[in-house]
Structure 1
Amino acid sequence: MNTLSDNALMLKVRSGDLDKMGLLFQRYHRPLYGFLFHMTQQREVSEDMMQNVFYRMLRSRHTFTGEGEFRTWMYHLARNVVKDHFKQTRRRGSHHEISDYEERLPAGIAADEQVERKLEIKALERALGNLSPENREVLVLSRFQELKYAEIAEVLEISVGAVKVRVHRAMHQLKEVYWHLETQNK
Structure 2
Amino acid sequence: MNTSDIWKDFHEALLTFIKKRVNNKYDAEDILQEVFRKIHSSVHLLTDEKKLRSWIYHIARNSITDHYRAAAKRKEAETSFDAGLDFPEPSDENSNFNQVVSSWLKCFIQGLEEKYREAIMLTEFENLTQRELADRLGISVSGAKSRVQRGREKVKELLLECCRIERDRLGNVIDAQPKTNDCSCTSCENSFFGNLRPF
Fold match (TM-score > 0.5): no
Which entry has the higher C-alpha Rg, 1 or 2?
2
Structure 1 length-normalised TM: 0.37
More strand by share: 2
Asked which structure has the greater RCO (Cα within 8 Å, sep 6+), the reply is 1
Structure 2 length-normalised TM: 0.34
